[in-house]
Structure 1
């Protein structure tokens, strides 16, 4: 194509950065990419389970096969498993139950601050006892803090079939605790909208899969005015005629802190700009510091001592500590490393995690395959 032809074609295009209506295309792109999604395309039920004086929120799907009990990490909610659930139910015949743990999501307890590993494990055992019979095999699947809770809860489950722990290793976790407060200070404390919170989580690298973030992040933030979880606002936003026409402030690159930048990061500077903040984090993780070491101390030995079949999924082999390295070489558990993802492995690559878990379940004859899927080759 000649330079003259290129010039003619270019002259017929709208100015760069604008759409035909004159609105910055970046703003429209942001609205299109980061609008929140309801839980309903992923789960059949969203309901409360009463355990004593406490109310735990549970998302579930399926009526046959073993039950996968999914336990999220600190600060997340049961919705973090949405994309994983969508994948796993197409691979094996199973039921899925994703729990909002104490102090998280839509669960409400008499003591929201008691996030000790023992209390969380007792909560999980109580929920399972309330909704499941003794005949249904239970596979505990936990990410990060949820992985530690799964290991702690395993001895309390009489019909336990297996345990899957995702990206949490005692040695690495204990080392990371020293920089955790710096990381938490690096996060914005509030957001103008649900979409802005989703954008921040994606662009900061906390969740690298935008589709997953759109359903997951609303379970992590609450409406400052009503105190309710942001998930309750999604339907009203979609029915608001003014919502589609809103153009919010774009989050610029300098406001984004990548994962690798969070160590030794000073607190973000205070902004004098007057902004209306509508959403804040559901849980203040900085105030849970007293429980951090209790989540992970002794985790490796406890994991290795679980008599049921177990699997460890990691985002990188460098996360393996000495005790687990020895155990892996002795064949005490199955290990799978999933590259090209961050700490939220099950959100970043839900299909790969689902394939690994489905292979684990079929290999140990916990479940029947529902379809042909790519069988992952275990590292052990």
Structure 2
């Protein structure tokens, strides 16, 4: 137990850190600084169950306010960190106050990229999705029969398209790249997900960008697309990626690269400052990556808690992700960046399949679509350092569990 810990950010990573630290018996002074007025809450359901009104905000909140009191954790809500004085170990706040710290953890997350005003991004009817207030506004707008344009064919855009179709909207999705999920998945996975959305009636246009959104009296009315189409629409959902919230660290002289650069202990070049979650660029094998996932946020937060409580173990990422679209669950184990071969294996029932990623003959990732066995087997193999050959995975007569030996 040492001096004050200040955590900036009320998302999954920051909460995981403080909860684990208290569970380990560490009673140092903790202050959590969060920009929103709400108690810290889960974000992934915002684009799924919350948007569908299947889940209310009270179910998203990690812990009630009484928990923070009981754990002697000071909450500074509706407050932004504005500057770090590293020499004095002092954090400036938007309230005009300052906080002295012995240890500072930046869990600042990432912000969705907005459509520029020059392209119509400020029109009424254009939405991005970051917090529950965004989700509330979007849910009110998603009425049956409305015409929605989804801009971006990544996971956020595809999940939004699935929700919109489920609510009875007419949906067009455009992706400027040659295929959906081009940045994060192999062509075989893109093919499977594309087929899913086409079967549900989504007008999916790849290799198609946005020229501009146009409106009347400030209200969105149509989209002009790069293929020359003018598309009448009632709302547009922007899913064109996120930018890591690393300005606070960068202005304090810490290394950033669309994220705050950290070592295997999640520590920056300043030994008193750590960064965790979506804002952190961390070592993974021989690469430096930023892992946007709940699992990484929790695991990295808990790893730093163990370190602060006296441990010495570095953080070893074991990436896994998921995406729910319609009644389909896409589960991803590992990290497929840099693969040189994939093998697609049919699943046990119609509509299920798995895509196995190899680099120089070694398994590095698995995408499983409604195929829990493939996901579980692939995840266990990657985490244990085992690897089947591509030929074994391609052998349909071989039971996947046999690959575990």
* TM-score w.r.t. length of structure 2: 0.29
- Kindly indicate which of the two structures has a greater share of residues assigned to helix: 1
